[in-house]
Amino acid sequence: MADGKATSMRSPWILASALAVVVGAGVAAAVATRTPPPASAVEQPHASGFTRKLRPHFDHAPVMTEKFETPQAVTLACLRCHPDAAKVMKSSHWLWLGEEVSIPGRTGAPVRIGKKNVINNFCIATTGNEISCMKCHAGYGWVDQDFDFSKRENVDCLVCHEGTNSYVKGVGGVPVKGTDLLAAAKSVGTPRRDNCLGCHAYGGGGQGVKHGDLDSSLAHPFEEEDVHIGRHKFLCVDCHRAPDHQIQGRAFSVSVEDTHGVACTDCHVKPEHRDERLNAHLRSIACQTCHIPSYAGKLPTKATWDWSKAGDPKRVDDQHHYLKIKGEFTYEADALPEYRWFDGTVGRYLIGDKIDPSKTTVLNPPRGDITEAGAKIWPFKIHRAKQPYDAGNDYLFPPVTGGKGGYWTTFEWDSAFRLGAKASNLPYSGRYGFAPTEMYWPLSHMVAPKEKALGCTDCHGDHSRFDWKLLGYAGDPIKTGGRP
């Protein structure tokens, strides 16, 4: 969901590749005002021989000339020149559902899961809250469960491709009143970092709520904050490529496996360490573990969220400590990761799963351990929360928070649960409470320059950042030996 701060920022954009749908108003040929770069400038080599393409810019201003009365009219103009861009309608960015998948660690038939139908521990659920959450959907008009996903004119091309820095999406993803659609259409091009970050930096209702390694500082970071962007000027789409508008990359807040993921080894095809002792670590240590020594270096990220404290009229609202509509928070800056084994798959809490409210429920537990050959030690942000559950049925519950009758209007949890029961078809017992939960966020952005990577004494010795016994070792493996 988005909050007031997020929607006052520049557009809630969608992930780095998105809808390459934007070009002309039915004109077969157009004029590019920039001279294409010479061949020698088109490709720039980087680590391990990886080549980042510099994309020639096509100036759409001469071909986008009609006055657009609706954002859907812009999309239809785009599709006249880019009919294949409608393939985005098969993507999880449009459907908010992935392909059928068997959830690791669970029995039963494969299921389709995504932001549309899972519970999280920040904004809880999109079900019943479409009026708030869909400000970050790559479409127009999704305000309830009757949204028609077959209408291609409702795809929002501009959210990923416009470059005016003034395109703002409002209720249901529709641009706010007064948006200059023609100016936005004239400005389109390759998705920029701030196109992607408008949603991915502000998801969950504010800056840095969900991801610890994605915030607006990555639009123009120094190289110490992110070497790929700050030093090598990468765009999100350099890694998160989108063949047929199917955007590569996995968010383990919703995904459970890494079929279409992005990995360091996509570009770094061979170890580059001169010391073979470091290369030997690759059997057990993910690249990110050493090369992301900390996260949220410039802007803080939310670490805890306690919904049970919401609704107190005596407390003063403070974005980083307390909001009456959402409860109590803590944030961390320049945070140290927590480390766990990870094999590229996670379990998943599904709506209706029973919980023990006296214990912490992990919504997406990373899988893998010291005995699993394919598992490696990864850095994580772990978001800890206390969130609503049905105390009669003992399952986590998706109350309605935004919109008419929602908790943010009434501050009555019982009525919010009853509305949520109707939206989700999940029975409500009439009793509610708040239960502890955790979510794991593997870190892959904010990669430091190699000179800032972890050294031996960061992990071994008296001041190790690792809890070796938690990871399954007898002690520091430099003394007690490595994994079996």
How far is Cα 435 from Cα 418, in angstroms, rounded to an integer? 18
Burial 91-112 (b: 16+ CB within 10 A, else e): bbbbbbbbeeeebbeeeeeebe
Q: Is the pLDDT of residue 11 over 50?
A: no
**Position 439 confidence tier, pLDDT thresholds 50, 70, 90:** very high
Q: For position 15, what pLDDT does the model report?
A: 34
How far is Cα 219 from Cα 195, in angstroms, rounded to an integer? 9
Is 210:203 a contact under the CB 8 Å cutoff? Answer: yes
**Position 392 confidence tier, pLDDT thresholds 50, 70, 90:** very high
Q: Which segment of 269-278, 373-382, 433-442 scores lowest on mean pLDDT?
A: 269-278
**Residues of the chain with pLDDT > 90: what percent?**
84
Six token digits for residue 279: 């290369």
Q: Which segment of 46-50, 324-328, 437-441 scores lowest on mean pLDDT?
A: 46-50
The verdict on pTM exceeding 0.85 is: yes
Q: Is the pLDDT of residue 24 over 60?
A: no
Residue 446 has a CB neighbour count (10 Å cut-off) of 29
Give the pLDDT confidence of 171-200 residue by residue, as tens digits.
999 999 999 999 999 999 999 999 999 999
